Every structure is written in C-alpha cells, then in structure tokens.
C-alpha cells in the first residue's frame, strides 16, 4: 500500500512538472487575434487572454460589440471590424493586425464563427442558404487564416479553430454542419503542412455553452419562413403533419 501511495505521488509530481513545462511564459508582447468577439466564446476568450497579459486583437462584426468589449477590458486590447463574408473587410483586418504586431508576428489566431443558420431538410433549401453559412463559417475563416499565415510563421505561432461539436452530428440539412466538417478537414491538412514552420494547429471541439445557445424561437421562425416559401409540390410531398412534428 505504501509503495502504491508513493508511486501515485511520484506520478502526480511528474504530471505537474510536464504540465508546467507546457505553460506559455513571458506573455507580454505576444499578440493573439480572435474572430467573432461580439458575444459568446470569442468574447469570453478575448477578456480572459487580456487579463492574462496577452496583446489581444479582437475582431467584432458590430460597433456595439467593439465598444462593449473595450469598456470591460484593458487599454492594450484592440478591436477591429470584420465581416468574414467580405474579402475587402478581411483585407482591412489583416492590414490592421500587421500594423499592430509591428514586425513581431502573430503568436495566436483563434478562429470562431457561430451564427444562426437556415436549418431544414435539404430539398427545402436554396443554394443561397448554403452560401449564407459557408461564406462566413468556412470560406471566410479559411481566407483570413491564409492571409495571416506569414505573421504566424514569423512568430512560430499557433492556430486554434473552435468548432461546436453539435456541428459534427449530421442529422439535419443546411450549411452549418458542412462548415464544421470543412473546418475539421482544413485544420487537419494545415497542421501537417505548418509543422515545417513550427506553427501549431489545434481544433477545440466544444459543447453547449450558455453564451452560444441559439433561442429555439429563432430556429422555429427560420423553419416557418422556409416552409412558407416552398412550392406546393414539395409541401404536399412532406405534408403538414411532417412539418408540425
């Protein structure tokens, strides 16, 4: 029994030593760029990293989001407007990050894009419904990652892609789950390629958080609008009972 206790203590000590060796030191001067910081996980992470001493650059979609974040953060936290569906907006954000980092490179890029997507059976949807999601949650995130890779390589930084685990369960149509599976594939490929430059790529598959839960009324309203725009042939093929259930 004594040997078992000593072995357990030794294992804990080794674990603590290994864990502490992985901690990032000298946080001052390390720049982290985070997308989608108006609310939710991006907002919470920006505040937390700011308190830890990182130089946080938070991308917000609205002026209101920027002002609210700055009001409860340190003066070192900077915000920039970003519309992931707009290449010009992405280019302006990249210029801002480049100027802020002032030749030091980018220590971290945290990509996070959550939104309310049209959710319905696949043949209820139009191609525009897929574009409205994929242009932001997949193509937009890929575009800004590609444009920031030179800064990440300069600092031998890391890319962290936040992916809601519910998006990996394919039980309903729409672009939301396509975007999550796409980000998984993009991240896995990028991880292999960036090893040569000392850049780490990670995926964080998170679950449900209060800050990111979409009101069920919003989803139902989306579904109702889509149902009402369907052709009579499609509505009749499913039936009112199917829609209600």
94 belongs to a structural domain:
yes
CATH for 65? 3.40.50.720
pTM for the whole structure = 0.84
238 belongs to a structural domain:
no
4 belongs to a structural domain:
no
31 belongs to a structural domain:
yes
221 belongs to a structural domain:
no
How many domains would you assign to the chain? 1
- Residues assigned a catalytic role: 176
Question: What single string gives the DSSP state of each residue in the chain?
Answer: -HHHHHHHHHHHHHHHHHHHHTSPP--TT-EEEES--SSHHHHHHHHHHHHHT-EEEEEESSHHHHHHHHHTS-TT-EEEE--TT-HHHHHHHHHHHHHHHTTS--SEEEE--------S-GGG--HHHHHHHHHHHTHHHHHHHHHHHHHHHHHT-EEEEEEEGGGG---S-SHHHHHHHHHHHHHHHHHHHHGGGT-EEEEEEE---GGGPPPHHHHHHHHHHHHHHS-HHHHHHH-HHHHH-
Q: By residue range, what is the domain housing residue 60?
A: 27-214
194 belongs to a structural domain:
yes
233 belongs to a structural domain:
no
How do the pLDDT tens digits run along the chain, 245 residues long?
A: 778 888 888 888 888 777 766 667 676 789 999 999 998 889 999 999 999 999 999 999 999 999 999 999 999 999 999 999 999 999 999 999 999 999 899 999 999 876 667 778 899 999 999 998 899 999 999 999 999 999 999 999 999 999 888 777 777 788 888 899 999 999 999 999 999 999 999 999 887 665 445 567 777 888 889 999 999 999 999 999 998 88
90 belongs to a structural domain:
yes
């Amino acid at each position: 029994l004594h040997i078992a206790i000593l072995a357990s203590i030794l294992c804990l000590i080794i674990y603590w030593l290994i864990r502490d060796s992985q901690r990032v030191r000298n946080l001052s001067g390390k720049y982290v760029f985070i997308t989608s910081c108006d609310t939710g996980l991006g907002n919470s992470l920006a505040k937390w990293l700011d308190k830890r001493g990182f130089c946080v650059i938070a991308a917000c979609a609205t002026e209101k989001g920027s002002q609210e974040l700055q009001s409860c953060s340190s003066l070192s936290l900077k915000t920039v407007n970003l519309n992931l569906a707009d290449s010009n907006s992405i280019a302006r954000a990249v210029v801002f990050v480049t100027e802020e980092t002032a030749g030091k490179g980018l220590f971290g890029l945290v990509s996070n894009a959550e939104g309310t997507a049209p959710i319905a059976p696949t043949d209820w949807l139009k191609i525009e419904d897929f574009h409205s999601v994929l242009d932001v949650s997949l193509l937009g995130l890929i575009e800004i990652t590609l444009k920031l890779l030179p800064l990440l390589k300069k600092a031998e930084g890391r890319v962290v892609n936040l992916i809601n685990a519910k998006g990996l369960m394919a039980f309903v149509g729409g672009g939301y789950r396509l975007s999550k599976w796409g980000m998984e594939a993009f991240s896995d490929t990028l991880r292999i390629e960036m090893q040569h430059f000392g850049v780490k790529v990670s995926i964080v598959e998170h679950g449900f958080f209060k800050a990111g839960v979409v009101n069920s009324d919003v989803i139902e309203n989306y579904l109702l609008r889509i149902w009402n725009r369907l052709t009579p042939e499609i509505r009749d093929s499913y039936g009112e009972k199917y829609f209600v259930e």
